[in-house]
């Protein structure tokens, strides 16, 4: 008995060891190293100084705006994303895979480009300029929802698609209204994934940097933009450390809260239900989906249109120029090379994130045999969400100050970028897999085991068939997230091998109409590449897994 | 159903995975060349030099030049200060006069051993002149869309005071001092021009409809009527060289102009990093940055002016983008002492 318990714990530790080492080395140590610099002033440890910073009135304002804008952004993302997830995962619509892929594109667009596109729409000369929303809280919230509705659609859509429709149909046949079906059958089954999506979206919103900077103007600062300002512009490391710690505390509290509300998912069916025909009752959800599509498409169309214009006329010259290095050699490598590096880096980031994510998801979802074990598992689950809640600035500089000696001098290693991106993508992978794995009835494993299957065999016959599809979805998402990642990448990327978003940013920073046009064209290429990846994943999703 | 349908899907996935891993980084270019024949330049993302110039350096010295460019000038200064004693390169380039004190205070540099070109002496730092060598300079100035004003038969503004006049209401866009280096330079220009009353001037600007965006890109491309297709404001914060990029045709005349009474000069410096793995190569690189090839290439590749009086700027520049005779100045030591306070005060004023 005791030996079995020990064995289980040892197994748990062995599975968790790899991810933990990676996380410690590339996340916990760097962040601690950077925050430590703020706590130690002139060689002495001075925690009181850090506390003093937190009493500044500006810190209160910044924290208030961070929480308010993130809450509003999350609510709007859910309002737009949930009906869209329903429509795109359950209804038989023409081109729904294409629509779903398009809706996921914003997530990876460089924020600076989206900022420019948003301003074209909301700005003084734009079609919605009369609203006066160009800069300020409304623009920020719209921007956050533009990026994050995709996360809701993906996370909840995947769970919704694999939901067995029969209990709902049975309830309806027994006289339940659609609303009753939703609240008593569908919602309990989806709750896990909705809570997951909400917590991830909230973290993304609360730590978003570019959106707030471009759409908020000077007046509206969040903890994330404030850390950047304090670190790079004012070199006030103590205040930056104080805010980093504050951000971490908020994130940990949030994770603790969501862990409480994240009920285990209902048993997952081993098949994707066939999408059903559209009914009149679907009209509201369809309308919201159309609105979401328009909301997402407007800035993208503005972007595409801009990329196709040269000197006031339609032209493909901006795209032809991508094989070169811009006017006055603004770039060190052609944009096409940057695309190749982006793809290579994304491949590495994807397998790293998938490997770590799968291990973690398995560890976290295995049935615990004691309360202590359960606590360890849920703590593990939460710890790996932390990278979402830490400023890219803190992490970027932290890697610089900690990984700087001996075999750990990885500052110039080509692996640093994919590792950082994998850590950013990891929570997405874990959150996509955990609800599915958690939904597997443990009795299936027991049945397999009692029939003589070993651990591997059990895993292959029980888990793999169910997890295979979400795994593909997760890999697509990790790949796309890596393609678009800018914050950490811009700190770590090597000059000879810049990624596409880094090149776009660079082009935007160089004068000349051609460079600007190329930046827009490169953004369209980035968006199109992402859409293709997402489409490929959609196509690869095996329609039925029940045969096994 | 579907064992049949699964096979093509599986095959496709496998093919895709294999194809993609074929171009993964692992096992790829993890070259770690010999340190002795390499010299590493740490710089900001705006750094660029023509291939011929880099080749010339490599041929002359037998060293390979490795450029590590990332982030902006502020982040570069922070990075250098944080990794003092154990730098990730041999030479740093791109520290300007508004950030010089941070890296000097952190003790990041060794004295460099190179002769300044003729005319460069006037850009040298008063303190730390032996540690940081001036390489290029550019003036941050208010730019106007001359064509826009001509079309409306309105005289364009010409001074800082003009920008606060009712005739120019809602016409100006600048970038933020807290998030952009031209924005900081403009804040310093107003500081030099108005002394203690600088905050009154900013209030007047805001009352007159000044628009503040976060970076140069947003201001110039997003807001400036001559910068992109959507911009509506004919007055913008940019550089003295910007008019050379808004010609009405090849070899034509510029449709914009820089207001030469509104400028603040930014000087960019290079220095040898303390703890460099290749100190001799680093000295050679600094010398090269000050040499005629690099100095002549600066306008074309980085849109800045050489510090050397011996090389000439391109013809479009001399014809369309004259240099200010004298710019507003704030001593680096004064900037260092007051930077935070001024930024805080500025933020208070603009976010009332």
Coil, strand or helix at A140: helix
Residues of B in contact with A314 (CB under 8 A): none
Q: Which residues pair with B144 in a beta bridge?
A: B235, B257
pLDDT at B144: 96
User: Which stretches of A91-136 are DSSP H helices?
Assistant: 96-104, 111-122
Closest to A341 (Cα-Cα) out of A104, A503, A487, A488 = A503
Distance CA A296, CA A81 (A): 11
Residues 6+ apart with CB under 8 A from B240: B138, B139, B140, B141, B258, B260, B263, B321, B322, B323, B324
pLDDT at A327: 66
* Residue of A139 and A438 predicted with greater confidence: A139
Residues of B in contact with A225 (CB under 8 A): 179
Size of interface A-B (CB pairs under 8 A): 184
Which chain B residue lies closest to A545 (C-alpha atoms)? B2
Residue B316 structure tokens: 């479009």
* pLDDT band per the 50, 70, 90 thresholds, residue B133: very high
Distance CA B22, CA B37 (A): 31
- Does residue B230 carry a pLDDT above 80? no
Distance CA A532, CA A534 (A): 5
- Does residue A262 carry a pLDDT above 50? yes
Residues of B in contact with A493 (CB under 8 A): 70
The mean per-residue pLDDT over the stretch B312-341 comes to: 88
What DSSP assignment string belongs to B9-39?
HHHHHHHHHHHHHHT-STTSS-----GGGEE
pLDDT at A273: 65
Coil, strand or helix at A54: helix
Residues 6+ apart with CB under 8 A from A154: A104, A432, A473, A477
- Does residue A66 carry a pLDDT above 90? yes
* Residue of A293 and A508 predicted with greater confidence: A293
b or e along B30-42 (b: 16 or more beta carbons within 10 Å of the residue's beta carbon)?
eeeeeeeebbbbb
Alpha-carbon torsion (A459, A463, A468, A473), positive or negative:
negative
The mean per-residue pLDDT over the stretch A294-308 comes to: 87
Residue A488 structure tokens: 């950490």
- Give the number of other Cβ atoms within 10 Å of residue B155's Cβ: 11
**In the predicted model, what is the mean pLDDT of chain A?**
81
- Does residue A483 carry a pLDDT above 60? yes
pLDDT at B27: 41
Distance CA B68, CA B87 (A): 12
pLDDT in tens, A144-187: 999 899 889 877 887 787 777 788 888 888 888 888 888 888 88
The mean per-residue pLDDT over the stretch B212-219 comes to: 82
HSE value, Cβ hemisphere, 13 Å, CA-based, for A521: 24
pLDDT at A4: 74
- Does residue A543 carry a pLDDT above 60? no
Distance CA B218, CA B211 (A): 11
Distance from the A154 Cα atom to the nearest Cα atom in chain B, whole angstroms: 20
Which chain A residue lies closest to B1 (C-alpha atoms)? A547
Helix or strand holding residue A191 (H, E): helix A187-206
Q: What is the DSSP letter of A106?
A: G
**What Å distances lie between residue A369 and A375, A381, A439, A447, B6, CA to CA?**
11, 17, 17, 17, 36
Q: Do A229 and B178 touch (CB under 8 A)?
A: yes
* pLDDT band per the 50, 70, 90 thresholds, residue A547: very low
Q: What is the dihedral of CA B41, B45, B47, B50, to 10 degrees?
A: 100
Q: What is the DSSP letter of A25?
A: I
Which chain A residue lies closest to B79 (C-alpha atoms)? A397
Q: Is the pTM of this model over 0.90?
A: no
- Does residue B197 carry a pLDDT above 90? yes
Distance from the A430 Cα atom to the nearest Cα atom in chain B, whole angstroms: 20
Q: Taking a C-beta distance cutoff of 8 angstroms, is the pair B221, A516 a contact?
A: yes
The mean per-residue pLDDT over the stretch A382-405 comes to: 81
Backbone angles phi, psi at B247, to 5 degrees: -85, 150
Distance CA A70, CA A64 (A): 10
- Does residue A285 carry a pLDDT above 60? yes
The mean per-residue pLDDT over the stretch A258-284 comes to: 67
- Does residue B313 carry a pLDDT above 60? yes
What residues 169-188 of chain B have any CB closer than 8 A to a CB of chain A?
Answer: 176, 178-179, 184
Residues of B in contact with A472 (CB under 8 A): 13
Coil, strand or helix at B136: strand
* Residue of B250 and B6 predicted with greater confidence: B250
- Does residue B56 carry a pLDDT above 90? yes
* pLDDT band per the 50, 70, 90 thresholds, residue B343: confident
Distance from the B13 Cα atom to the nearest Cα atom in chain A, whole angstroms: 7
The mean per-residue pLDDT over the stretch B26-43 comes to: 65
Q: Do A123 and B230 touch (CB under 8 A)?
A: yes
Q: Choose among A218, A330, A536: nearest Cβ to B350.
A: A218
Closest to A340 (Cα-Cα) out of A525, A147, A208 = A525
Distance CA A497, CA A62 (A): 36
Q: Taking a C-beta distance cutoff of 8 angstroms, is the pair A161, A92 a contact?
A: no
% of chain B residues with pLDDT over 70:
89
The mean per-residue pLDDT over the stretch B272-290 comes to: 94
HSE value, Cβ hemisphere, 13 Å, CA-based, for A520: 30
**In the predicted model, what is the mean pLDDT of chain B?**
86
Distance from the B205 Cα atom to the nearest Cα atom in chain A, whole angstroms: 15
Residues of A in contact with B41 (CB under 8 A): none
% of chain A residues with pLDDT over 70:
92
Distance from the B252 Cα atom to the nearest Cα atom in chain A, whole angstroms: 15
Q: What is the dihedral of CA A309, A315, A320, A322, to 10 degrees?
A: 10
Burial class of residue A419 (count of CB atoms within 10 Å of its CB; 0-12, 13-18, 19+) = buried
Distance CA A172, CA B33 (A): 70
% of chain A residues with pLDDT over 90:
11
Distance CA A537, CA A469 (A): 9
pLDDT in tens, A337-390: 899 999 999 999 999 999 999 888 888 887 777 787 777 777 777 788 788 778
Burial class of residue B70 (count of CB atoms within 10 Å of its CB; 0-12, 13-18, 19+) = buried
pLDDT in tens, B286-305: 999 999 999 999 998 888 99
Q: Taking a C-beta distance cutoff of 8 angstroms, is the pair A487, A392 a contact?
A: yes
Q: Is B222 on the interface with A (CB under 8 A)?
A: yes
The mean per-residue pLDDT over the stretch A457-474 comes to: 80
- Does residue B21 carry a pLDDT above 70? no
The mean per-residue pLDDT over the stretch A417-426 comes to: 87
* pLDDT band per the 50, 70, 90 thresholds, residue B24: low
Q: What is the DSSP letter of A221?
A: -
- Does residue B241 carry a pLDDT above 80? yes
Instruction: Strands of A161-290 (E only): list them.
Output: none
pLDDT at A96: 83
The mean per-residue pLDDT over the stretch A271-293 comes to: 83
* pLDDT band per the 50, 70, 90 thresholds, residue A475: confident
Pairing status of strand B38-43 against strand B64-69? parallel
Closest to A107 (Cα-Cα) out of A479, A418, A390 = A479
Q: Is B42 on the interface with A (CB under 8 A)?
A: no
Q: Do A119 and B230 touch (CB under 8 A)?
A: yes
Q: Do A218 and B69 touch (CB under 8 A)?
A: no
Q: Taking a C-beta distance cutoff of 8 angstroms, is the pair B304, B138 a contact?
A: yes
* pLDDT band per the 50, 70, 90 thresholds, residue B7: very low
What residues 298-337 of chain B have any CB closer than 8 A to a CB of chain A?
Answer: 300-301, 303
pLDDT at A110: 67
pLDDT at A173: 87
- Does residue A82 carry a pLDDT above 80? yes
pLDDT at B161: 95
Name the one residue in this structure whose structure tokens are 């491949």: A347
Closest to B146 (Cα-Cα) out of B259, B260, B256 = B256
Distance from the A255 Cα atom to the nearest Cα atom in chain B, whole angstroms: 31
Q: Taking a C-beta distance cutoff of 8 angstroms, is the pair B140, B127 a contact?
A: no
Q: Do B222 and A116 touch (CB under 8 A)?
A: yes
pLDDT in tens, B148-175: 999 999 999 999 999 999 999 999 999 9
pLDDT at A272: 59
Q: Do A544 and B231 touch (CB under 8 A)?
A: no
- Does residue B31 carry a pLDDT above 50? no
b or e along A340-355 (b: 16 or more beta carbons within 10 Å of the residue's beta carbon)?
ebbbbbbbbbbbbbbb
Please state which of the ranges A70-74, A271-275, A448-452, B231-235 shows the lowest mean pLDDT.
A271-275
Distance from the A11 Cα atom to the nearest Cα atom in chain B, whole angstroms: 29
Q: Cα A377 vs. chain centroid, distance in angstroms?
A: 22
pLDDT at B266: 93
Distance CA A511, CA A513 (A): 7
Distance CA A52, CA A239 (A): 9
* pLDDT band per the 50, 70, 90 thresholds, residue A328: low
Q: Cα B264 vs. chain centroid, distance in angstroms?
A: 13
**What Å distances lie between residue A24 and A119, A383, A393, A493, B219, CA to CA?**
40, 10, 18, 21, 41
């Amino acid at each position: 008995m005791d030996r079995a318990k020990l064995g289980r714990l040892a197994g748990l530790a062995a599975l968790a060891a790899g991810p933990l080492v990676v996380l410690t080395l590339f996340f916990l140590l760097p962040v601690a190293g950077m925050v430590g610099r703020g706590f130690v002033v002139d060689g002495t440890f001075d925690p009181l100084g850090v506390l003093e910073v937190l009493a500044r009135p500006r810190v209160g304002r910044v924290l208030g705006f961070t929480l308010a804008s993130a809450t509003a952004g999350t609510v709007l993302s859910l309002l737009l994303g949930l009906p869209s997830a329903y429509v795109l995962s359950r209804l038989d619509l023409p081109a729904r895979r294409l629509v779903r892929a398009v809706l996921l594109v914003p997530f990876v667009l460089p924020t600076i480009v989206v900022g420019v596109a948003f301003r074209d729409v909301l700005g003084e000369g734009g079609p919605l300029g009369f609203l006066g929303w160009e800069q300020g809280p409304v623009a920020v919230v719209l921007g956050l929802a533009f990026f994050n509705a995709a996360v809701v659609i993906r996370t909840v859509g995947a769970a919704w698609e694999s939901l067995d429709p029969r209990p709902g149909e049975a309830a309806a046949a027994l006289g339940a209204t659609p609303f009753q079906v939703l609240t008593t059958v569908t919602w309990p089954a989806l709750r896990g994934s909705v809570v997951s999506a909400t917590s991830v979206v909230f973290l993304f919103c609360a730590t978003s940097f570019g959106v707030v900077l471009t759409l908020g103007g000077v007046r509206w600062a969040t903890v994330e933009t404030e850390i950047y300002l304090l670190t790079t512009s004012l070199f006030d490391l103590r205040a930056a450390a104080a805010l980093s710690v504050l951000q971490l505390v908020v994130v940990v509290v949030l994770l603790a809260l969501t862990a409480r509300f994240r009920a285990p998912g209902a048993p997952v069916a081993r098949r994707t239900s066939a999408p059903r025909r559209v009914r009149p009752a679907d009209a509201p959800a369809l309308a919201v989906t159309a609105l979401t599509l328009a909301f997402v498409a407007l800035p993208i169309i503005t972007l595409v249109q801009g990329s196709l214009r040269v000197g006031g006329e339609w032209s493909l010259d901006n795209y032809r120029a991508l094989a070169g290095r811009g006017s006055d050699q603004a770039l060190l490598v052609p944009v096409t090379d940057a695309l190749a590096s982006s793809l290579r880096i994304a491949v590495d980031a994807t397998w790293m994130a998938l490997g770590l994510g799968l291990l973690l998801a398995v560890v976290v979802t295995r049935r615990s045999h004691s309360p202590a074990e359960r606590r360890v598992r849920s703590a593990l689950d939460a710890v790996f969400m932390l990278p979402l809640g830490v400023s890219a600035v803190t992490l970027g500089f932290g890697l610089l100050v900690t990984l700087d000696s001996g075999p750990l001098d990885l500052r110039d290693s080509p692996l640093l970028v994919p590792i950082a991106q994998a850590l950013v993508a990891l929570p997405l992978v874990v959150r996509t897999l955990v609800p599915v794995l958690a939904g597997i009835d443990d009795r299936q494993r027991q049945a397999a085991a009692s029939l003589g299957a070993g651990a591997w065999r059990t895993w292959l016959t029980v888990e793999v068939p169910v997890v295979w599809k979400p795994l593909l979805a997760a890999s697509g998402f990790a790949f796309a997230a890596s393609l678009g990642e800018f914050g950490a990448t811009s700190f770590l990327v090597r000059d000879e091998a810049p990624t596409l978003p880094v090149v776009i940013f660079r082009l935007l920073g160089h004068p000349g109409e051609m460079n600007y046009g190329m930046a827009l064209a490169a953004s369209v290429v980035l968006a199109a590449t992402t859409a293709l990846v997402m489409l490929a994943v959609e196509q690869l999703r095996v329609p039925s897994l029940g045969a096994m | 159903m579907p064992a049949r349908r699964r096979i093509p899907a599986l095959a496709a996935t496998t093919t895709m995975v294999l194809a993609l891993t074929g171009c993964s980084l692992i096992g790829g270019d993890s070259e770690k060349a010999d340190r002795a024949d390499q010299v590493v330049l740490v710089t900001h993302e705006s750094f660029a030099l023509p291939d011929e110039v880099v080749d010339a350096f490599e041929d002359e010295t037998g060293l390979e030049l490795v450029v590590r460019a990332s982030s902006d000038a502020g982040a570069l200064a922070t990075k250098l200060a944080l990794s003092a004693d154990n730098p990730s390169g041999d030479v740093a380039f791109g520290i300007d006069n508004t950030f010089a004190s941070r890296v000097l205070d952190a003790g990041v540099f060794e004295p460099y051993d190179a002769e300044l070109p003729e005319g460069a002496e006037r850009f040298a730092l008063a303190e730390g002149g032996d540690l940081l060598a001036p390489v290029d300079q550019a003036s941050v100035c208010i730019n106007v869309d001359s064509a826009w004003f001509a079309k409306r038969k309105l005289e364009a503004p010409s001074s800082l005071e003009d920008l606060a006049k009712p005739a120019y209401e809602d016409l100006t866009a600048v970038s933020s001092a807290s998030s952009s280096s031209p924005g900081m330079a403009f804040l310093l220009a107003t500081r030099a021009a108005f002394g203690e009353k600088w905050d009154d001037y900013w209030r007047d600007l805001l009352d007159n409809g000044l628009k503040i965006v976060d970076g140069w890109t947003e201001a110039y491309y997003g807001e400036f009527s001559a910068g992109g297709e959507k911009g509506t404001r004919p007055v913008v914060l940019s550089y003295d060289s910007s008019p050379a990029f808004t010609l009405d045709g090849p070899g034509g005349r510029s449709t914009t102009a820089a207001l030469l009474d509104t400028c603040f000069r930014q000087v960019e410096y290079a220095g040898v990093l303390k703890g460099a793995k290749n100190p001799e190569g680093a000295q050679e690189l600094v010398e090269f940055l000050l040499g005629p090839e690099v100095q002549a290439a600066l306008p074309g590749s980085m849109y800045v002016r050489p510090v050397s009086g011996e090389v000439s700027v391109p013809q479009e520049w001399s014809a369309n983008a004259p240099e200010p005779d004298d710019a507003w100045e704030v001593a680096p030591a004064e900037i260092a002492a007051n930077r935070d306070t001024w930024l805080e005060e500025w933020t208070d004023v603009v976010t009332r």
